[in-house]
Structure 1
C-alpha cells in the first residue's frame, strides 16, 4: 500500500472515530405523506431514548454506545424502523403506516366485539397499571393570553384630587392600549424527579427555565399586578387597609406593599398539585376524562381494525358520546394480548364543554373551558405494569371578571381620618395552555425507596428572554418547537 492510500485509510478511520464520539443526533420523524409525526419514540438499547416534539423533531445523545447498537424509531400505527448506530445520522426519517382490517387478521379462535374487548379492559385494569411509581419527568407548559376587554371606573376617592384621578385614568388607558387584543406567550420547562406512593407525592427539581419577555407580557397575572400597582401608589404605605369586594371582605388588615407581593422562590407543592390533576385526569378509571371506557351505554363505539406498535397488534377503537353526560370523542388502542389501553387521543365533542362557572349576574364572574384536546401513551415497564410515558393536553378558556374593589383605611388613632378608595374594573380574556409531560424512566415505588426519595419545598427557576440551545444541552428533554427557537423574533404588537 503506497503512502497516499495509507493516509486515506487513516483519514477515513479518523472520520469514523470522530463520528462515534459525537454527542448527539438530531432529525425529524415524517410519514410517507411528508407529515410530521409528533411524539414518536426514538430508542437506543433497552433504556435510553427520547420522543419527537409536536413538529416531529428530536435530538438524542449517542455517547457511550457501541457502533453495532440498534436504534429503534416507533410510533403506534406505523412500522418500526431499525437502524444501526453507525448509520444513524442527523436527517429525516420516514415511517410507513401499517393498518389492517379485522377480516385480514386472525388473533384468537374467537372474534371479539367492542363490548367484549371493553369488558376485558375493565377486568384487567388492576393487573395492568402501576399507580405508584417514580420517574424523571420533563414538563413543558405553554401559556398564550389575549385580553379582549378592560374597563376601569373610580367610584369614590376620599383623598384624591381631580388631577390625581386624571393621572390614574391616563395610566390605566395606557395599560389598555398595551394589552387589549394583543397576544403574549411564555414557556416553562422543568426537569424534575417524581415519586408517588398511595396519596403522597414527593418532588425535587433538577433544572427549570421560564422563557418570557417581560416587556411583552400581557398575561392576566401581569396585568393584574400592573393594575394594582397603579391603585396602591395612591394609598398610604404606612397604613393598613380593609380590602372588600362588593359585600365580601377579602382582607381585614393588609399593608399596601404586600398586595400581590411577588414570591421570591417558587414552591414544588404547586408542581405537585398540577401533576396530581394531570395524572388523575389521564388515568384509566371512571373519575378521569376516560369515563367512556366504563359507561358503554352512553357512547357509540366502532372497532376500526388492527393497528401495530413495535410489531405487536392492537385494536383500534373510535368512540363518540351519545349522552350529554359524556364529553369526549376520539380513538383508543388496546393491546390484543393483555387488553391494556396503551394510547388514547381525545377531544371535546361538539357542544361539549369542560369546567364552567357562570355567576356573571350574581358576583360578576364567568369561566368556561371551550376546548380540550389530549393524548396519553402508556408503556409497560420491567415490572410488566403500565405507567404513563407521555401526556399532552391542550385547553382553551374564556374568563370574565367584573368586580368592585374597596380599600378602607384602618383608623389607628384619633388623628387618623377614615378614607375610602373604591373602584370597579372589568376584564374579559381568552387564554390557551398546553402541558406536555415526558416520563423518561418509570420504576415501581415501595416504602423503602419512597422514604429515601429527596423532597424539596422550593426550587430555582431561570428567567430567559431568548432561546439558547446551550441551556438544556446534555439534558433529556422534548426538543423545542420553532416558536420557542424564534421566540426573540416575535413582534411586540403581535
Structure 2
C-alpha cells in the first residue's frame, strides 16, 4: 500500500511539474557556456531546439512517457527520462573527442572539393522534391537604431513666430524620443505550411505581437508623425499640395480631414506572413536558385577541410567555404554526414569586405541604402522516410539607411503660402527571423488549407505571456523578449 501511494505521489509530482511548460537550459560540460541550436527530440519527427542562450521549453504532452534526447554538433548525445526532466532544469553535454581515422571510409582523407562534389551528386537522393506539410513556429524580432534624426521647419510663410517655435519644439521632442527609443518589435505565429511545386499555402493558428505603439518607428510612421505635427499648425480651412524634391506626392491635402485618426488594425494579411515564411525558407533552398545550393558552386567558392566531428551517432565532415569570385558574397561552414554526404547544418555570413545590395542616390535624391548584415544557420534532420528536411532556419540581416528629404506644403490659393519641412534620418534596421518546422503526415493535413482566410488576427501584447503558447512546440524566447514591457 505504501509503495502504491508513493508511486501515485511520484506520478502526481512529475505531472504537476511538467504541466507548467518548464524552461530548461543546455550547457557545455567543460566551459559552462550555453549551447545554442541543440536539438531536442521528443518523438518521431517531433521536438524543439535551444535558443541562442541555450534555453528550450518543453510541452509535456509530447513526451508520452518516452523522455527526450539532446543532441548537438560536436557533443555526445544525452537521453533524459520524464523523471529527470521533473527534477532538473540544467543539463550539460560533453564534447565528443574523435580521431579522424574513425571517420575514414577509405584509406585516405577526402579533400574538401571531393566532399562538395559528393554532396552535389547526392542532392536528389538526400532531399525530397515532393510536397511535405509542416507544423511551423515563426518568430521575427525587429530593431531600429537611429544615429541621427533631424526634423526642422526651414521656411514657414503661413506661420507666425509663436507657431513656428511651437512646431519646431514639437519636432525636436519627437526626434529626441525616437533617437532614445531603442525601438523593438516581436512577432510570433504558428500554423500549418504546405509547399506543393511552385505554390504554397499557410494556415495560421495563432499570431501575437509585442510592440510599444508609442515606439513604433517605421520610416513611414516617423515621416507621418512629423507631417501631422506641421498639419496642426496649418489653416484647417485651406487645402494644400505636398511636394518633395521634384515630385508632387499629394494633392488637395486638408489638415482638418487628415488629422482624423485612422483606426489601428489588429489584423494582417495572410499573404504577408506567408511571404515572410517563404523568404526565410529560401535560405535553406538546395534546389537551383536556393541560397544553400549557391554555396555548393565551385565556380564561385573555394573549400577547405576543417575537421571531423560528431553528431547524434554520425561522423561529420566540417568544410569551410569562402568566396573565389567577386560575385560570391558569403563565407561559412558546411557540416556534411560522412556516410550519406547530406548537409546537416550550415552557418554563413557576409565574407570580410563583402556587402549586399547597395543604392547610393545621396546627391540626387537624398537616399543611401547598404545591406551590411546577413548571417544565419540552417539545420536539417533525417525523416522516417530517409529524406533530410529543414528543421530550423534562422536569418539575421540589417542595413544602413540615409534619408534626407524636404517636404513643402503649398497652400492652394493665389498667395501660395509655403511651409518647408526638412527631414534627415541616418541609422540602421536589424531583423532576426527564426523558424522551427515539424513534418506532418500528409493524411493529417487539414483539407481546409485549400480555403484560407485573407486576414489573420494578431493579438497585441504588453509583455511576453508564455501561457499563450502552452502545449505548443515553440522556440524559447531570449531574455530581452521575456523582459519586454510597454512603457507607461
* Bin of the TM-score, shorter chain as denominator length: 0.7 to 0.9
2:307 is aligned with 1:309: no
What displacement does 1:244 show? 2.9
2:483 is aligned with 1:481: no
Residue 392 of structure 2: aligned partner: 390
Residue 204 of structure 2: aligned partner: 205
- For structure 2, the 5+ residue unaligned runs are none
The equivalences for 1:67-466 within 5 A come to: 67=65, 69-89=66-86, 90-108=88-106, 111-130=109-128, 132-218=131-217, 220-235=219-234, 241-252=240-251, 264=265, 265-285=267-287, 287-290=289-292, 293-408=295-410, 420-442=418-440, 452-466=449-463
What displacement does 1:254 show? 5.7
What displacement does 1:392 show? 1.1
CA offsets 1:123-162 (integer angstroms, 9 cap, x no match):
2323433454332221111112121112233344453333
* TM superposition score normalised by structure 2: 0.88
Segment of structure 1 superposing worse, 234-243 or 472-481: 234-243
Distance 2:374 2:443 in 1: 31
Distance 2:364 2:51 in 1: 44
Distance change >3 Å, CA 196–CA 420, structure 1 → 2: farther
What displacement does 1:336 show? 2.5
Distance change >3 Å, CA 305–CA 408, structure 1 → 2: same
- For structure 1, the 5+ residue unaligned runs are 1-5
Q: Aligned pairs, how many?
A: 480
CA contact (8 A) 2:408 2:418 kept: yes
Distance 2:89 2:123 in 1: 40
1:459 match: secondary structure: strand
Distance 1:201 1:299 in 2: 31
Distance change >3 Å, CA 263–CA 286, structure 1 → 2: farther
What displacement does 1:398 show? 1.3
CA contact (8 A) 2:70 2:78 kept: yes
Distance 2:72 2:313 in 1: 10
Distance 2:333 2:349 in 1: 10
Residue 14 of structure 1: aligned partner: 9
CA contact (8 A) 2:39 2:50 kept: yes
1:488 match: secondary structure: coil
What displacement does 1:61 show? 1.8
Distance 2:61 2:446 in 1: 29
Residue 44 of structure 1: aligned partner: 42
CA offsets 1:72-125 (integer angstroms, 9 cap, x no match):
111122221112333333421111222535334332467532222212222232
Q: Please point out which of 58, 61, 73 is paired with 2:59.
A: 61
Distance change >3 Å, CA 164–CA 93, structure 1 → 2: same
Segment of structure 1 superposing worse, 229-238 or 453-462: 229-238
Segment of structure 1 superposing worse, 480-489 or 246-255: 246-255
2:389 match: secondary structure: strand
